[in-house]
Amino acid sequence: MKVLLIDDHPLILSAMQSVILQIDHGIEAVTVESAAECRAVLAKRCDFDLILLDLQLGDADGFELLAELRREHPALPVMVVSASERPGDALRAIDAGAMGFVPKRSSNELLQDAVHLVMSGGIYMPELVPTDRVEPGPVPPLAAPSGVAAAGQALRPGARTRTGGSLADLGLTPRQRQVMQLLLHGKSNKLIARDLGISVETVKDHVAAVLRSLGVTSRTQAVLAVGLMSDLSEGSLS
């Protein structure tokens, strides 16, 4: 696995690199201290499997760089590692396409677990995100896809959480299930349309139906809602 680490504090960058390298002997962790260096590295090579991004960079706004990375490299997952513990920043990062948000004061083990989760296709949400943001109304039971963690949980490979409920309760069509799975993996409507061979307008209709079924009004709320639900079983959305 190849990981690109972006942080403008050399000591923090070195510490993160050490933590990431402990995950597996075969990991390559490349470090850069600015958005400019990040762009230069990605212009030369595009074989990274994951980016860890700080939001406070000396030469760029982290959210703007996140949006740029998702736009220019849509298949490359980005996880934010930030000193911020504001719930709004975590929600904004996930809305912008980040696959996780890890506060810098988190333990080494939590960061490693979050990396495992994201690399398995899941989305990591920290405990600082209040569950009451998953509003309005009660959320119907849902079988979540493998690798989607509840708020504040980082699942090791094979970990499971169960609180009851099933996907059938939502009454989604097979196509809507496919759209929901891709939506939960952070893909835009355009990428979902490309993956499924349907129009963007059709994707929008399916996304709207999924959100209605979940009782939420945004993609971020959908991620949180599914994360708080049950039966993280393999293939439950396929």
pLDDT in tens, 106-154: 899 999 988 988 887 778 877 754 444 433 333 333 333 333 444 344 3
Q: Tell me what the pLDDT averaged over the chain comes to.
A: 76
Token couple for 209: 């139906």
| Helix intervals (H) in the chain | 10-21, 35-44, 62-72, 87-95, 108-119, 174-184, 189-196, 200-214, 219-227
Token couple for 97: 């396409």
Per-residue pLDDT, averaged over 28-52, amounts to 93
Positions of CATH 1.10.10.10 in the chain: 131-227
Question: Quick one: CA torsion of 48, 100, 123, 86, rounded to 10 degrees?
Answer: -170
pLDDT digits (tens, 9 = 90+) for 171-223: 788 898 888 888 777 677 888 888 899 998 898 888 888 888 877 777 766 76
Positions of CATH 3.40.50.2300 in the chain: 2-119
Question: Which of 65-74, 82-91, 207-216, 226-235 is predicted most confidently?
Answer: 65-74
Cβ contacts of 115 within 8 Å, gap of 6 or more: 3, 20, 23, 50, 52, 79
Place of tokens 């079988």: 143
Name the CATH code of domain 2-119 (choices 3.40.605.10, 3.40.50.2300, 3.30.470.10, 3.40.50.300): 3.40.50.2300
Q: The domain at 131-227 falls in which architecture?
A: Orthogonal Bundle (1.10)
